[in-house]
Amino acid sequence: MITISLCMIVKNEEKVLARCLDSVADLVDEVIIVDTGSTDRTREIAAAYTEHLYDFVWVDDFAAARNFAFSKASMEYIYSADADEVLSEENRTRFLALKEKLLPQIEIVQMKYGNQLRFGTVYNFDEEYRPKLFKRKRDFIWEGPIHETVRLTPVVFDSDIVITHMPEQSHAGRDLQAFQRQTEKGTRLSKRLHNMYARELFLSGDAEAFARARTFFQQSAADVERSADEVTESCLVAARAARLAGDVVDFFKYASKVIAEGECSEVCRELGAFYEEREDYEEAVIWYYNAVYETTPILRRDSGGRDSLEGLIRCYDALHMEEESAVYRRELKERNEKDNEKDNEMGR
């Protein structure tokens, strides 16, 4: 049986920390909790589960904090958890079985991260594999009978363990502020973080958040070293920021760039909103319809669903076209009922 260190970084998690630890602490051999500046009862709660409680002065860098936590581990493997995660009884059993049977050559174990959509995360899918269990000290192995080389790619195992994500509140505001601080310092975001920043904005960004992000994404749209996907993301953010600011010229500049590369639900939804704001409801209907039925979303799933269906309903109401409005009300109701059924299934 392998030994495991649970490593966590926390701040003001008094509402959820005990719930998380109750579901996993007895499955591991060591609990390490790093506090980054809590002002509530987080430290008190953590102290009831472990003596390995450390302080880390926040430097606006989650990776630095997590690296510090990992440096305190002493077991064979490290399990990285967040305070708003929970292991159900079924998955506790799976976790224990994994601990008993894991082959020593496996260096990373991926687990399914579930319940994404219910709590408004930046992801457009409800489950995804994430690396969660890591071998603390890696063994370097030579490979190849001729021209031998050291194996650099880790041995990864996809487990059947599902971690339930149950945050008390959205982290969107905190995350957006972190992105804004990084870009205002001139940090070049990786492709992954670039995508997540754009998603976070479309999920929960208000006019102020888009205004603060506008310059960064305009520059990114003109950056020849960015991929085509990143340029599209940049143009979508820049287009919405321009629409919210009332800058018609910039709005069409960036919306047109997206359309030239291939339409998506987000740009159609933006055009629908643009014409609806100007009370050109007939034109708005065309774009909202395209958002729902003719294109697919790339940043925010609801751009091609609830958001644009509600736009269709508003426009047909404004046009006094009750029959058409009723059609889309029914569809919106059916979609909401399906989403509620999925939520109930996840909650059981």
Note the pLDDT tens digit of each residue in 79-128.
999 999 999 999 999 999 999 999 999 999 999 988 644 544 444 445 78
- How many helical (H) and strand (E) elements, i.e. helices and strands, does the chain have? 13, 10
Average pLDDT, the chain: 91
* CB contact set of 319 (below 8 Å; sequence gap of 6+): 281, 282, 285
Cβ atoms < 10 Å from Cβ of 208: 10
Residue 253 pLDDT greater than 90, yes or no:
yes
pLDDT at 124: 44
Domain ranges of the chain: 4-165, 172-347
Residue 318, both tokens: 């404004």
Q: Is the pLDDT of residue 345 over 80?
A: no
Q: For the domain 4-165, what is the CATH code?
A: 3.90.550.10
Structure confidence by residue, pLDDT tens digits, 260-316: 988 899 999 999 999 999 999 999 999 999 999 999 999 998 999 999 999 999 999
57-76 residue pLDDT tens: 998 889 999 999 999 999 99
Mean pLDDT of 145-171: 83
Q: What is the pLDDT of residue 192?
A: 92
Q: How confident is the model at residue 339 (pLDDT cuts 50, 70, 90)?
A: confident
pLDDT at residue 347 in the model: 43
Mean pLDDT for 230-253 is 98
* Angstrom distances, CA of residue 60 to CA of 36, 261, 276: 10, 36, 40
Q: Report the DSSP pairing between strands 156-165 and 108-114.
A: parallel
Q: Cα(120)–Cα(128) distance, rounded to whole angstroms? A: 15
When pLDDT is averaged across residues 161-185 and rounded to a whole number, the result is: 82
With contact defined as beta carbons under 8 Å apart, do 100 and 45 qualify? no
pLDDT given for residue 338 in this prediction: 80
- Please state the pTM of the whole predicted model: 0.74
One CATH from 1.10.3470, 1.25.40, 1.10.575, 1.20.140 for 172-347? 1.25.40
Which residues touch 298 (CB under 8 Å, ≥6 apart)? 232, 233, 236, 264, 265, 266
For residue range 10-57, list pLDDT tens digits in order.
999 999 999 999 999 999 999 999 999 999 999 999 999 999 999 999
Q: Convert 278-294 to b/e letters by CB count within 10 Å (16 or more is b).
A: eeebebbbbbbbbbbee
- Say yes or no: do domains 4-165 and 172-347 share a fold: no
268, 295 contact by CB (below 8 A): yes
Question: What's the pLDDT band for 144 if we cut at 50, 70, 90?
Answer: confident
Specify the DSSP element, H or E, that contains 86.
strand 85-86
